[in-house]
Amino acid sequence: MGARLHCVDEGRGEAVVLVHAIGCDHRMWDSLAASLRPSLRVLRVDLRGHGASPAPAGEYSLDELAEDVKAVLDARGIERAHWVGLSLGGMIGQAFAIAWPQRLGRLVLANTTSSYGAEGPQLWQARAKAVREGGMAAIAEVVMGRYFSDAFREREPGIVERIRQRVLTTPPQGYIGCCAAIRDLDFTRDLVRIHARTLVIAGEKDAGTPPAMSEEIVRHIPGARLVVIAGAAHLSAVEMADEFNLLVRDFLVSP
């Protein structure tokens, strides 16, 4: 059964939905939303298990998470929307693009992957186990080390702490449910079915989804373009907000 997502809906024009990383919420997109609002209708969702959205019991799937976002569009009578997804948000974006191509405008896949390979299930099962046994505090510091470069953590401790607090306040059940969805990620062979105009963004210093994973996506989506942001780790939309915002805005509004 679908989850009714919390959504912040602002601006006018063509619709774009912004879908956040695991352990974050719609506020991850504050800077990008401000950049896009003058030109577009911006919908920022909290995924199930995150923010103000419900956290149903059990494991989630990427298809279910995509259906949750589709229901947000359906409820507002939005027939077609652009999609900007980072990390988990990009994985869900792939699921949406494959399942409902007619509902998708342009697609931005940032700091994400179509597969973690043979080691992926074990990696995400271990992450879920850590949260199940120790709560969100068991992973918060490790996650911050992946989300941001060392230089950014030293330069902007306040921003890092805000994101850390969002990780800590994510319901463990929601996080574990999304770990299951990521565990089962395997879209590489299906990417050829995506025909939306696609921009792929990678972070040069992203250890979680390194640029090679973005290169693999670009090889399989016809016509996709790759940009690597120098110095950025996993949350490039936060760490390099000005550059990220300009890339996305130009991509979405250009002819």
Domain CATH for 87? 3.40.50.1820
Inside any domain, residue 178 = yes
Domain assignment present for 33: yes
CA 214 to CA 226: how far, in whole Å? Answer: 7
Backbone angles phi, psi at 53, to 5 degrees: -85, 155
The 3-state DSSP class for residue 188 equals: helix
pLDDT string in tens for the chain (255-residue length): 678 999 999 999 999 999 999 999 999 999 999 999 999 999 999 999 999 999 999 999 999 999 999 999 999 999 999 999 999 999 999 999 999 999 999 999 999 999 999 989 999 999 999 999 999 999 999 999 999 999 999 999 999 999 999 999 999 999 999 999 999 999 999 999 999 999 999 999 999 999 999 999 999 999 999 999 999 999 999 999 999 999 999 999 998
Decide if 116 is inside a domain. yes
Cα separations (Å) of 108 from 2, 224, 255? 24, 10, 16
Structural domain boundaries, residue 115: 7-253
Helices (H), 100-155: 120-134, 140-147, 150-155
Q: What is the mean pLDDT of the chain?
A: 97
- Does the predicted model carry a pTM greater than 0.95? yes
Is 1 a domain residue?
A: no
Q: How many domains does the chain have?
A: 1
